[in-house]
Amino acid sequence: MMDRLDILGRPDIERLVNAFYTKVRADEPLGHVFDGIAKVNWETHLPKLYNFWDTVLFRAGTFRGNPIAAHMKLIEHADLSWPMFERWLVLFRSTVDELFAGENAGHIIRCAEDMAQVIHSKIHAIPNPRFNPERLTPEQKARYASYRESPQEP
């Protein structure tokens, strides 16, 4: 059996993202959202996702985008129910596990799980118990209040 190494840098991120979206496109319901409905331009979308995960894992700071808005604009046209997110996660976990093993591999899966929850609850305006205002600590309340006061980016 081939020994799997951890995700160590940008080339590994690119390998992971390429393998993952190959699976996504081959999956009937998910592939339909990307290629049938959103008609994603893969030449520009893949580099954007390299930058996204490179920034999540290695703080590359190269991602420019708005994932909530990108998925929000799809809800009228596509099935973005939780089972679709779960399907996305199953493919993501299996791609990571096939290619890599280690701390970063575990971390990127947990990040994807958290972000799937956040994107799903935001686009459907479903309150997520993890962000229930009643459960915030005083420190979180102060921090969130300061976000609201700071100028919004367009």
Question: Interface residues with ligand HEM (CB under 6 A)?
Answer: 30, 33-34, 38, 40, 45, 48-49, 52, 65-67, 70-71, 74, 80, 84-85, 88, 112, 115-116, 119
Residue 5 CB, nearest approach to ligand HEM (Å): 22
Q: Which residues contact 63 (CB under 8 A, 6 or more apart)?
A: 48, 51, 52, 54, 55
Residue 125 CB, nearest approach to ligand HEM (Å): 16
Choose between 7 and 33: whose C-beta lies nearer to ligand HEM: 33
Residue 68 CB, nearest approach to ligand HEM (Å): 9
Q: Name the token pair of 95.
A: 């791609």
Residue 63 CB, nearest approach to ligand HEM (Å): 7
Q: Name the token pair of 62.
A: 């190269």
Choose between 60 and 116: whose C-beta lies nearer to ligand HEM: 116
Choose between 85 and 100: whose C-beta lies nearer to ligand HEM: 85
Q: Which single residue brings its beta carbon nearest to ligand HEM?
A: 65
Choose between 88 and 100: whose C-beta lies nearer to ligand HEM: 88
Distance in angstroms (rounded) separating the CA atoms of residues 45 and 22: 13
Residue 92 sits at φ, ψ, to 5 deg, of -65, -50
| Sign of the alpha-carbon torsion through 116, 122, 126, 130 | positive
Distance in angstroms (rounded) separating the CA atoms of residues 118 and 131: 9
